Structure 1
Amino acid sequence: MENYRVMWVRARDGRAMVSTVSYDQPSAEHRKADLETEGATDIRIVKMKPGE
């Protein structure tokens, strides 16, 4: 299974954020949709290497 992290810029203060958990692809896409709804910007799904 491949793992992914989600990175984004928080809308309320412009702070760059990164998920502390890893997601599978469908879950990462769902999280991205949630962040878009919250107004986050620069949302990226990044593939993780094993052990990261």
Structure 2
Amino acid sequence: MQNYRVTWVQDGREKRSGVSYDQPSAESRKARLEQEDGVTDVRIVPVKPGE
């Protein structure tokens, strides 16, 4: 199974999710982040299991 992390920029600082997601969950998290004020450059990044 492929795992994903979500990365984004908030108030000029790069951030990333502390957990790994499956594809549908990562897309849902990305959509929620895009609705927040001050959040830009939201990306879904594939990661290896255990990363």
Task: Determine what percentage of the aligned residue pairs are the same residue.
Answer: 70
1:26 alignment partner AA: P
Query: Normalising by the residue count of structure 2, what TM-score does the alignment of the two structures yield?
Result: 0.88
Runs of 4+ in 1 over 4 A off after TM superposition: none
SS of equivalent to 1:38: coil
Structure 2 alignment gaps of length 5 or more: none
RMSD, aligned CA? 0.9
Superposed displacement of residue 19, structure 1: 0.2
Paired residues in the alignment total 50
Query: Normalising by the residue count of structure 1, what TM-score does the alignment of the two structures yield?
Result: 0.87
Name the one with the larger strand percent.
2
Structure 1 alignment gaps of length 5 or more: none
